[in-house]
Structure 1
Amino acid sequence: MYKLCFYVPENHLEPVKQAVFNAGGGRVGNYQHCAWQVFGQGQFQPLPGSQPFIGTAGALERVDEWKVELVVADESIHQVVAALKAAHPYETPAFDVWRLSDMQF
């Protein structure tokens, strides 16, 4: 099992989540579309040669974004990350993937 975390602007929140869910993310036991999200502000500065969705090369940009976290089964992680990248508006989406322990309690 993995935990996937990504950041997305508000106007793309639902389409990106739906793409991730459709690829198999956010399934926990007998539940689907499971996620945790929080609103915040991100920042970045596009470098020369970039094609930013928001902002311009060389200028520091601050953007209101959603942070979304969900779990992904081992067999779906590659498809889920591919769906995230395909649906996300940013040239280089910010995301991380963490392998979770299979410890039994």
Structure 2
Amino acid sequence: MQHEAKDSRPQGGLGGVARAALLGLCGGMLLGGLLLLGQGLRTRLAPVDCQELSEVECGFIRQTAEEVGRMQTVAGAALLALGAAVVVLVRSRARPASTPQA
């Protein structure tokens, strides 16, 4: 008769290395999202230098900066939301479900 080794981890739970990797990835997403959001806001709100440009070129540069800033802001906010959602998901699976006692 062979004895089977019992695993002390609950079935379906994340391993320590996988959980640490996910939290590290989430940290990178949160930091990247925060930096991208800040860059997008700075791009949208900073005045464009049009000293040596014609009026048409200056208008084009302003519109381009506004659109790029908008996309950076949206992408940064999306990264922040995705990173926060995965952190909440990983943290909630780490806690065992409480059983009601009667």
Q: Which has the higher strand share?
A: 1
State the structure with more CA Rg: 2
Q: Normalising by structure 1, what TM-score?
A: 0.24
State the TM-score, normalizing by the size of structure 2.
Answer: 0.25
| Higher relative contact order (Cα pairs below 8 Å, separated by 6+ residues) | 1
